[in-house]
A and B are shown apart, each in its own frame.
Chain A
Amino acid sequence: MIDLSGKAAIAGVFESPRRDAPRVHPFALQMECILGALDDAGLTLKDVDGLCAASGDWAEGGSTMDVVELAEYIGIAPTYVNSTDVGGCSYILQAGQAAAAIATGLAEVVVISYAACPRWWPLSSPSFDPFVFPAGPGQYEIPYAPTLISTYGLFARRHMDLYGTTPEQLAQVAVTFREHAAKNPDARLRKPITVDDVLASPMIASPLHRLDCCVVTDGGGAVVMTSRERARDLKKPPVHLVGYGAAVARTQNSQIPDDLTTPAALSGPRAFAMAGLTPGEIDVAQIYDAFTITPMLALEDLGFCGRGESGAFVADGNLTLGGSLPTNTDGGGLSSNHPGKRGIFTLIESVRQLRGEGPGVQVPDARIALAHGLGGTFCSAATAILAR
């Protein structure tokens, strides 16, 4: 097998500062981000021969041939495309597969692109969404009207029962990331909050309160990847993809494992093995935070703390700027932005941290970053380890 570690690099990134984009089609937002990321790299659309997208879900503007629709809209004819959609972490998975495409010569410059506009999108959800379609496996669950948040609630409640995790510990996740967002001028929510604020916010789906939940914003971002050799001479210092792993597990609630193990327990070790690194060597982490329970389970499955210990790990301040694992330095999905599949922002903020360009809090001299995401309700996971 080809050793992928360090073969490809991220040469350019761009995150749209928009959080509200009324009547902007997501493809138009993607084009803004793609041009921004190419400019960041010192490249142009003419250099692009690979395109990755996952734009077929609600408020993303595309349908089943999303990557073809997007290529047409942009005005390019890439030789390599990937529209694998495993939910919010799709763009991390696509970064790993883009590295493979680059290493094997299928493509030289690959753009990974994402945007969604849920705040104004006028059309209903496509009927092929497994979370809304009461046919096949879904016929045994959708009739009960589960909500996405209530499924996270199932995980959070069981974590509390098994390990004694408290609502205060969950709330501390939101409080910590809000501290980071307070420094990020683009973040949706910047006013500092307390644990009491979280617990006093309305219950959405127990045990998760409103402030345990991510913001809903419009937004987008793009990442440009190329070979290690080509990245060396571009505008910005390259950030190398040194570790990558992905895993899929389940979609139906009935298949949730008793001990709450998520596919991060597979994607993480795969990424660390490729990188030849251990969790203790990560300087800064961006971990998908759709809800406060989301990064907590990831911290356990990725090996940053033991099973059931994430509540104490968070409460002890490990995720803060001075902590052992500064996390979601831009404010994350809980405070900065969350259009629906925010995995791409974990890559973008990782690159900014390694370059010293963090818009929120900046970890001094960060050399190794971890970007981790999940899809759906812990249905899938993808992990990337990036290094200067």
Chain B
Amino acid sequence: MTAMTIPPVQDETSAPFWDAAREGRFLIQRCPETGRFQWYPRAHSIHAPHARPEWVQASGRGELLTYSVVHRGNQRGDPYVCALIRLEEGVTVFSRVEGVDEADLRAGLPLVVAFHQLDETTSLPVFRPRTSA
């Protein structure tokens, strides 16, 4: 797998997300007025723009929506899987899928979050096959 080497630029809004990721927890945001989830994290709720979203821990479970295996591109190295994952909470996130042969990739594949430590300050969430519900 091609190494992930680009660190996210963390900011005031995203700090809780990256702090939790370092501890192996995947947070998403919920609107305090409508109860609806949102991804990606923002300083406001897209469902009620004057409201500040609250952080909640996601189940970390989801399923593969679609994917593309990058064979040649900006990054040189082994192929890697870019994917959209639909979380159980109903939001879609973009990430990588690891630990699956290309031939076994298919829409609907059950996945669970895992974490890649990039450096002391950053762990990146990725997704791996889920063996049991």
Contact = CB atoms under 8 A, between A and B. Distances in A.
A69 interface: no
Interface in B75-93: 75, 80, 82-84, 91-93
A211 to B, nearest CB: 13
Contacts of A133: 9
A77 interface: no
A154 interface: yes
B8 A205 contact: no
Interface string A188-212: 0000000000000011111110000
Contacts of A154: 66-68, 82-84
A47 B73 CA distance: 45
Given A134-B9, A143-B7, A203 B71 contact: yes
Given A147-B74, A154-B84, A141 B69 contact: no
Nearest to A208: B68
Contact of B67 (A139, A147, A157): A157
B60 interface: no
B10 A139 contact: yes
Contact of A135 (B11, B71, B95): B11
Interface string B1-23: 01011111111001000000000
Interface string B38-63: 01110000000000000000000000
B65 interface: yes
A254 B28 CA distance: 13
A144 B107 contact: no
Interface centre among A137, A141, A145, A203 (most CB of B within 10 A): A145
A156 B95 CA distance: 17
B6 A253 contact: no
A136 B11 contact: yes
A158 B6 CA distance: 27
A161 B39 CA distance: 24
B73 A254 contact: no
A143 B124 contact: yes
Contacts of B39: 140, 254
B107 A161 contact: yes
A255 B8 CA distance: 19
Contacts of B66: 154-155, 157-158, 161
Interface in A365-386: none
Contacts of A151: 68, 82
B70 A147 contact: yes
Contacts of B9: 133-136, 139
A3 interface: no
B96 A144 contact: yes
Contacts of B114: none
A35 interface: no
Contacts of A135: 8-9, 11
A84 interface: no
A12 B94 CA distance: 44
Contacts of A252: 40, 94
Interface of B: 2, 4-11, 14, 39-41, 65-75, 80, 82-84, 91-96, 102, 107, 118, 124, 126
21 contacts: A134-B6, A139-B10, A139-B14, A140-B8, A140-B40, A140-B93, A144-B4, A147-B70, A147-B75, A153-B68, A154-B83, A155-B66, A158-B66, A202-B71, A202-B72, A203-B69, A203-B72, A205-B73, A206-B71, A254-B39, A254-B84
